[in-house]
A = this chain, B = another copy of it.
């Protein structure tokens, strides 16, 4: 069991909604499940696409939403009108603030920025800069090629198998929530 009860979950996802409505449905379902489990949402603070969908879902059910956004990013991602938004000076400041405010990280589908946010939290876990769970909600197998990349990197000696295990991958919300709530860091995981 984790030492401290999980309080807030950081969600990384696209500022686009995606072409398959299953992605918005999954974002909405995740928001609902967070509130049902007494968990707060931390995220990038935009109101578009999947970002907007997950925030709206949490807020509609009376959950707590906290966003962190550089002012210049509001032209691209919009600005949430629910919960609390904190303006931060840079993209690095945004990521540091989201990491600090959260006890777990979940990636939904997205683009370059989403992949990068996800990978940074795995990298920091590997470096023991944090010991929080990092998870992918793999709706419609969106992340399958990403998992193939990790497999290739393990096979070729660039990622230790135990560190590959730092990343939780689930294809549905209930399994994902259970995995991050019950998370125990794999023994011997770490960069060396």
Contact = CB atoms under 8 A, between A and B. Distances in A.
A158 B18 contact: yes
Interface in A28-65: none
Nearest to A116: B119
Interface in A131-163: 142-146, 148-149, 151-153, 155-159, 163
Given A14-B158, A149-B146, A112 B123 contact: yes
A156 B142 contact: yes
Chain A interface bracket (under 10, 10 to 19, 20 to 34, 35 or more): 35 or more
**Identical copies of this chain, number:** 2
A16 B163 CA distance: 14
B92 A191 contact: no
Given A91-B129, A116-B116, A143-B149, 9 more contacts: A92-B92, A92-B96, A110-B153, A110-B158, A112-B119, A119-B119, A144-B152, A145-B146, A145-B151
Interface of A: 14, 16-20, 23, 73, 76, 91-92, 95-96, 109-116, 119-120, 122-124, 126-127, 129, 142-146, 148-149, 151-153, 155-159, 163, 191-192
